[in-house]
Amino acid sequence: MASLLDQLLQRADHKCEICSSNADLKAMPIQPSDGSLEKSALLCATCHTQVENPETIDANHWRALNDSMWSAVPAVQVLSWRMLDRLRAEAWPLDLLDMMYMDEATAAWAKAEKEATGDDPDAIVHLDCNGNVLQAGDTVVLTQTLNVKGANLIAKRGTAVRRISLVDDNAEQIEGKVNGQHIVILTKFVKKQ
């Protein structure tokens, strides 16, 4: 039976599946990988090095993703999506991400790495009035007196709210107890202690 590298060379016609270079080609497992042909891509040394070492990325080299993102090979689609996502600080990758199509299973595979590392730029971040990041369990202080709707309660400025919880789908809201009442508070009215 042919080795994985031989199978990849045949599938990719002896060219990098990202930039089409034919120099110094290597097999790269696309995580999570089982070491199979379906979960691997053939990359040149330049692509391989930059995928493995994000600090070495040359954004212009990755303009080749404009072509490779249309590959029929799911592993190449996944790698293309991940690199476009990694390069989103540049302007051009966002347009390509918007155009890119993957079936549901391939899209889930592409996003699996980001979810595993918690590296999600779209994640909701709760900030206090000074721009400090709030975490569940923090103590905050009210920066103004609040008339709590539906609770017949006035929460005075300077009141400490301990062990807050974050509202998962709204970056502008947290929850906590004031005078024994569980209330929702807007983050712009609190500062982290």
pTM score, whole prediction: 0.61
pLDDT in tens, 17-56: 999 999 999 999 999 888 899 999 999 999 999 999 988 8
pLDDT confidence band for 63 (50 / 70 / 90)? very high
Rounded Cα distance between 54 and 19, Å, is 17
| CATH code matching the domain that covers 140-192, chosen among 2.40.50, 2.120.10, 1.20.120, 2.30.30 | 2.30.30
Of the chain, the end-to-end C-alpha distance in Å amounts to: 64
Domain segments of the chain as ranges? 4-117, 140-192
Tell me how many degrees the CA angle 52-55-61 measures, rounded to the nearest 5: 75
Are the CB atoms for 9 and 42 separated by under 8 Å? yes
Q: Which two tokens stand for residue 46?
A: 């330049």
- The per-residue pLDDT of the chain, averaged, comes to 89
